[in-house]
Amino acid sequence: MEQEFGRNTCVLQEDEKIGSVKIADDVVAMIAALAAMEVEGVAGMSGNMTNEFLSRVGMKNAAKGARVEVLQRKVKVDLAITMEYGFNIPATCQRVQAKVKSTVENMTGLEVTDVNIRIAGINVTKEK
């Protein structure tokens, strides 16, 4: 358990009588990545990582394409996403930013100051 706390963590809650609640940065990154993938028009994170692929490789890889920086309870999120062909990129990215901000804030209590998105690719699926 102690080596788990060797990762970058942020204290969410501290109480001398009960103890403390900490969250690892990569858990915040996973929350951000999963929230982004819930938005229609997002094919996956950093390449062609789809939900089906995630179920095969495990949720540990869900944070691929997401990086967070947590400093004094403020979070900066950087995402590399693959878009589905045919979706409006600015509108979809605005929905991703809003979804990631609200999800991370609601689940962690931290304040999200930035959600920066880089379009890493476009997923073009051929119809059979």
Domain extent, residue 31, equals 24-123
pLDDT in tens, 60-93: 556 678 999 999 899 999 999 999 999 999 999 9
Please tell me the distance from the alpha carbon of residue 38 to that of residue 30, in angstroms, as a whole number. Answer: 13
**Structural domain count, the chain:** 1
pLDDT in tens, 33-58: 999 999 999 998 874 444 444 554 45
Q: What is the CATH number of the domain that holds 36?
A: 3.30.70.1350
Report yes or no on 12 lying in a domain: no
Query: Can you name the residues that pair with 78 across neighbouring β-strands?
Result: 67, 116
Report yes or no on 49 lying in a domain: yes
